[in-house]
Chain A
Amino acid sequence: MRPVPREKRVGRATDPPASTEAPHHPDVAPQAATSQPSTTSTGLSPPTPREPRFPASLQRPFAIIAFDWDGTAVVNRQADASAVRAKIDQLLRLGVYVVVITGTNFSNVDRQLSAPLVGPEKELLFVCTNRGSEVFGFDQQSRPILLWKRTATAEENRLLTEVAERVRQVLKERFGFDVRVITNRLNRRKIDLIPLPEWESPPKSAIGSLLTAVQRRLHDASVAGGLAEVVEITADAARNQGLADARITTDVKHVEVGLSDKGDSIDWLMRNIAQKHDIPAQDVLIAGDEFGPIDGFEGSDQKMDRPSAAGATFVSVGQEPNGVPANVLHLGGGPATFASLLDEQIDLHERQQAWYVVEANPTPAREHEIESLLTVANGYLGTRGSVFGWSPLGRPATFVAGVFTGFPDATPELTTAPDWTHFDLFIEGQAVATPRGAASEHRRVLDMKRGVFKLDWRYADEAGRITHLYVQRIVSLADRHTLAEFITLVPENYSGRMRCGLTLDGHRSNAAMYEGLPSTPVVGPDQVESGKKTPTLLAVRAPGSGVVVALGARAHLNTAVASTVSRLVQLTDRQVVEWLEWEAIVGNVYRIRRVVIAYTSRETAEPIKAVLDQLGNPDTLSAPEIITPHVEKWSRRWSVADVEIDGDLSAQHAARFAIYHLIAAADPQNERASIGARALTGQSYKGHVFWDTDIYMLPFFTLTEPAAARALMMYRHHTLDGARANAREQGYQGALYAWESTDTGLEATPPFAIGPNGEVVRILTGQQEHHISADVAYAVWQYWTATGDDAFFLEAGAEILIETARFWASRVSVGDDGRYHIRKVIGPDEYHWGVDDNAYTNGLARWNLERSAETLDILQARWPDQGHEITRGCHVTQSDSERWRDIARNLYVPVDSNTGLIEQFSGYFGLDQIDLKAYEPRTAPIDVLLGRERVAHSQIIKQPDVLMLLYLLWDDFSPRVRDANFRYYAPRCAQGSSLSPAIHALLAARLGYADLASAYFQQGAEIDLANNQGNASGGVHAGAMGGLWQAMIMGFAGICPRPDILGLTPRLPSAWQGTRFALRWRGRLLRFAVRGAPSSVEVRLDSGSPLDLAVGDETPSVAHLEEGWCYQTSLRGEVWSPWNRVRG
């Protein structure tokens, strides 16, 4: 596990409120289109990628960087350290623990390095001085504090002096060799072998000549064994004087005998920094300049190679004339190399930060939105990023996909499962509560790479007892029924009774209590024997659907440190608490592993039994058994899903955030649930499923995880009966999908809403927003053509295509003009309702009818038997295909041949023109500012409507029509939906308005991260995330999946130096690397059969890709060069 990053510049969830101003539109001329820089500054400057100059083992960000000071970081103690200080400061700000390990005293290093550093990040700096005898840290005011000190007893001091004196005597008596003994050092004595004025303070760089001088001096005195012999004499003296565990080192000039060495510093940092934050030794870098032997005696830095740091990376920047031990990487070059090493670490950490969402400066008012952003989920279950339950501000919730609560005459809503994250902590009988400000440190982080929520918390109670709490929470992606928390508790400055209550809390659930286990409270405390105790369990039943949701838990405290643990289980009406109580000892690290298993009656008839069975097998509940496959699964998903962006860290972070939440939203194994508008991150929209899933999210899954896309499409198939019922209800045939869908597919849109001032607003979307049926058909076709999943087509897809076509055939009416019309609908632009011939609806319906007619033909040609069954089941015959084609041909979608404009609906062009820019900036939706009626009578639109049609049916429209409509409609859009900015970004990119595209992209990226729509508290906007991914892949990279060929035309934002991503396409895996100016594309067919790929719109350059080969092309002027095939 990684440490909690302390980054405050990137990836924060704490940006100031963003501007909601719309980007400038190309309403004058495309050339005039300029991007509107957002007022949200992420404080980022694009990183300058450095060419890696170190071996691969150093090409990763280390969480702890520990190093020797004199000779490694600086030439000597008089050197100007400002340059290395600036780098160290940067690393601290990036959340890296920096540990200076030196033989000298604190004031020397403080003067040179730490005194000028100020800021909260200084708490991550540690200075280990006096050869392992002291450790200094810094408090919140950046003042030094002594954290640990090895104090010699009077007896030890006496022995040290005696040993040094004895060595002096022996050298004098045996060889007539004069040395000087230096006694005023903490816990050690120095024997100066060359007490001459010219060798008073030799620089490290002079070590070669120093060695020669010392050797000559020893040789002249006939000390045959040289330096090693002096060391041996010292060791003998220590033994003879009875000084146990004497540490003897040499820096050539001196031989030192002491009670501690740099190894003690390493032990301290491994115990007090690494262990507390679960940082493995692999993430520790230890640098020095004297690892190798000098004159037969091991270098002083070699002491840092301690068993506690086994697995850490050791590097030497010293001259090391006699080489270095095998596990040390010799770089050489002195402090200059060390500075480059730090530069590279800074670069690596900056990139790393795009993997985190950090709540750096907690703002209580933002609690609910932070909880949404930091949700951990796996598509089956999601848990909001709440803190452990002591905060009255939080809104913790756990949702299980597809489980809805439905009361009669009420809108069904996603069930909130019992809360499993709450726990209570008592120290010496006193509750640890979180009144504001009581926590001296409070930091929440979402590690998106590994799908881990982390909370780092230090708390001082009124008695001054400081408790450090570190929680890691996962909702396993490997086994979707497994949830776990790993709680680390450290009593930092006290010993006392610790009592921790781990809860399954039904109070947070909106479902009825079903069962709690153990069914009777356990009355007395007993000894905890891991794995043998009855687990706790709480099950609730969702009203309406009757689905039972069962959660069971098993907790384990590391009994190695807490030898006597008592356990007490309390069951109240809606809560089961498992209390663990033990005597905590100062400085000990207590780890509680709590595994929770969840099942519902949707996937098994006996969910409680399933929970207990899984909890009954302790072998599967160990930390590695849970964490390793989870992290591996995330890693596998990212290996295909990640979109890497060079040159724009803020875009990189937004991309990762979107992709993380998309991955977390889907469950390929569950065909009975789909992704709600806010996925599993919040209560908003009651968990209902909209067209967001089919149109905005689906392409991400289709092209990166087809199994998840298939499950989403199967959900539409399983809810086909509901859709048929919806159509019947409104007097139509076929399938009318629910505008808001739940578990049944029946329309779940509430008919009324209460407005902001108590007025009743009629909600017509459930009655009129019929384009949803064509959206589902479109998604089915996209999935099928992108995957070639014929089994799906036959099992489900064809039926959906046929039933939706039947709906449209019954939905159209013939007008006086003899053409077909669709009247009284709401298009994607919901500011206008009850309109006739909405362009998007008609356009998609026409497309639906055409594809469905094609479906009948395909069935007959390729699978006549199965096709016959399907068509018979849907009550259609081949003649229907002709009828559908006829309707499609005559369905009204007018394009003005002069202007190229498509009228959004009948009469739209006659509506009032209102200049939206006149209402910027604003703090309310435009329909609130102007009133619903006024907006309805104007050309202001809520989100892309005609433009959405252009995007989805891109090849059906000429470049002139695309451009004319974009320029007309984009300025009229009030961005009244979170789905809107990303699609504008996509189209702007495809049409060549690069800066405008960037501005829209940023607007879309900030919807949740900066809460710029003001409603992230109810969950993240999953549809907007899918839109953002499409803006990157279909917009900036310009991927265009066509029936015959996969095309791409990259148009990267100017800030992007390049992007890398992968796509799955018809059973193949393709990896793309696109560079910006000058534009180039590299593509590799990782796996799968040969495939053609076309780059460029006008005169495409086509590559015939073969497995295992790389292909390159670059833009020369306006033309893409022929592809160049290379091995790779």
Chain B
Amino acid sequence: MRHQSTGSPSPGKPDASRAQMAQPTGLHGQDDCPLILVPLDGSREAKIALPVALQAARILRASVHVVYATTQLLAPDEILRRIGIEPSETTGLVIDQVIGPPAEAIVDLARVKPAALIVMTTRGHTAYQGRTVRPVVEAIIRSAPCPVLLVRPELAARVCAELPLKRILLPLDGAPSSARVIGPALDIAKLSQAEADILYVAGHERRPQEAGTLTGPMYIDQPQYEWPTWAAEFIDRFGTSLGSYQLPAPIHLSIRTGSAATAILQVATERHSDLIVLEWRGNLDPLHAKVVKGVLADAPCPVLLLRTA
């Protein structure tokens, strides 16, 4: 088993509080064999996460644990029956059960294992009016100690364990904290030999007040110089400077205007992105995470949430 190449400064067992740290929780720094959790609730929709998890496991050289939350101990065959998986489909899978309220129990398990990644669909069998993600998913991503990979059930036809990961879309808002996701994202790009597309969306909002923020050029005095300079500085500042990663060349940088979520979805469609990596700060309250919610609502591919706050 290959050891994961790592950009993390301190390989070894991450502690449970890592999700709270400013540095986003990466998919590495684990034991030799990272572990991916796939919570299933028996619905057809939830099961769509499974091939995505297997695809991730292939790239990350990880093992996949299917998790079922229940109120009492069940025999393995009973779990399989409840989540709707044939024994013949379980090759390479570990079946886990947790007892207790699903979200809490799953987060606990992720912390104890510890898990490198949780893979879920945004919605299960119940349709929740007006919600992008179902409450259990919402509760898990609020407190998950590791990154969460979310798949819309509508993508059932697209996702497949064997699919290569060719293009990763990485939207940045120009603030150094958001750019911290670059490291883990580029790790994935390296492991899967995918191309990275960086997207910067300019609009008419206030620029982040964080020191070191680089938003779009405020003016293009002489476009022949401003654009190349700005693009080089943007990639250098956030790619090299903050990530200290060797960039897999070439990185494609796009700049769009308008609503960030709309632009991300547009570019993801145009560029045939296989994965969108989003920074997120753990707050899904109505006034927060507008971009995350907007992207999760219509993403044409799985979305990886890397927490930075």
Contact = CB atoms under 8 A, between A and B. Distances in A.
Binding partners A and B: yes
Contact of A365 (B206, B221, B237, B257): B237
A731 interface: no
B1 interface: no
A52 interface: no
A928 B255 contact: yes
Nearest to B200: A756
A683 B208 CA distance: 27
Interface in B212-226: 212-226
A750 interface: yes
A1081 to B, nearest CB: 37
B223 A761 contact: yes
B233 A1017 contact: yes
A609 B204 CA distance: 58
A919 B204 contact: yes
A1015 B214 CA distance: 9
Contacts of A924: 202-204, 215-218, 255, 257
Interface in B187-214: 202-214
B298 interface: no
Nearest to B215: A923
Interface residues of B, number: 46
- For the residues of A in contact with B, the DSSP-based class is loop
A411 B207 CA distance: 33
B221 A16 contact: no
B171 interface: no
Interface string B238-282: 101110100000000111110000000000000000000000000
A925 B220 CA distance: 7
- Select the residue from B212, B227, B230, B253 with max chain A CB neighbours within 10 A: B212
A754 interface: yes
Contacts of A440: none
Given A17-B213, A921-B205, A1017-B229, A763 B224 contact: yes
Contacts, number: 157
B233 A756 contact: no
Contacts of A752: 224
A1018 B221 CA distance: 13
Contact of A928 (B206, B209, B220): B220
A1013 B203 CA distance: 15
Contacts of B174: 923
Nearest to A921: B206
B203 A922 contact: yes
Contacts of A765: 222
A921 B207 contact: yes
A365 B215 contact: no
B139 to A, nearest CB: 33
Contacts of A516: none
A361 interface: yes
Contacts of A977: 219, 221
Nearest to B258: A929
A942 interface: yes
Contacts of A441: none
A975 interface: yes
B21 to A, nearest CB: 14
A830 to B, nearest CB: 8
Contacts of A923: 174, 202-207, 215-216, 218
Contacts of B213: 17, 365
Contacts of A750: 224
Q: How large is the interface on A (under 10, 10 to 19, 20 to 34, 35 or more residues)?
A: 35 or more
A365 B238 contact: yes
Contacts of B92: none
Contacts of B240: 392-393
A265 B222 CA distance: 59
Given A757-B254, A923-B202, A1013-B217, A365 B222 contact: no
Interface in A1017-1057: 1017-1018
Nearest to B252: A758
Nearest to B202: A924
Contact of A17 (B207, B227, B242): B207
B231 interface: yes
B176 interface: yes
A1012 B209 contact: no
A365 B224 contact: no
Contacts of B216: 923-925, 928, 1014
Contacts of B218: 20, 923-925, 975, 1012-1015
A974 interface: yes
A1112 B276 CA distance: 70
B209 A368 contact: no
Contacts of A757: 254-256
Contacts of B162: none
B236 interface: yes
Contacts of A974: 219
B228 interface: yes
Contacts of B203: 922-924, 929
B236 A368 contact: yes
Contacts of A367: 237, 241
Interface in B93-133: none
A363 interface: yes
B286 to A, nearest CB: 23
Contacts of B256: 757
Nearest to A16: B209
A929 B237 contact: no
Contact of B231 (A19, A756, A925): A756
B143 to A, nearest CB: 28
B211 A14 contact: yes
B225 A16 contact: no
Interface in B267-307: none
A989 to B, nearest CB: 23
Contacts of A929: 202-204, 257
B257 A928 contact: yes
A1018 B233 contact: yes
Nearest to A686: B225
Contacts of A830: 221
Contacts of B254: 756-757
A363 B204 contact: no
Nearest to A942: B219
Contacts of A393: 240-241
Given A928-B257, A1015-B217, A1018-B233, A922 B204 contact: yes
Contacts of B214: 365, 1014
A7 B10 CA distance: 35
- Select the residue from A365, A1012, A1015 with max chain B CB neighbours within 10 A: A365
A411 B241 CA distance: 28
A395 B232 CA distance: 12
Nearest to B225: A685
B308 to A, nearest CB: 14
Given A923-B215, A925-B220, A1014-B218, A365 B204 contact: no
Interface in A961-998: 974-978
Given A14-B211, A368-B236, A924-B215, A684 B204 contact: no
A55 interface: no
Interface in A758-778: 761, 763, 765
A457 B189 CA distance: 36
Given A761-B223, A1012-B218, A756 B255 contact: yes
Contacts of B210: 16-17
Contacts of A411: 224
Rank and list the top 10 A-B pairs by shortest CB-CB distance, nearest first.
Answer: A924-B202, A365-B212, A924-B216, A756-B255, A753-B224, A923-B215, A922-B204, A976-B219, A363-B212, A365-B176
Interface of B: 174, 176, 179, 202-231, 233, 236-238, 240-242, 244, 253-257
Given A365-B241, A765-B222, A925-B217, 6 more contacts: A19-B206, A364-B176, A756-B230, A761-B224, A922-B204, A925-B220
20 contacts: A14-B211, A16-B211, A19-B206, A20-B218, A363-B176, A367-B241, A685-B222, A685-B225, A757-B255, A924-B215, A924-B217, A928-B220, A928-B255, A929-B257, A942-B219, A942-B221, A976-B221, A977-B219, A1017-B229, A1017-B233
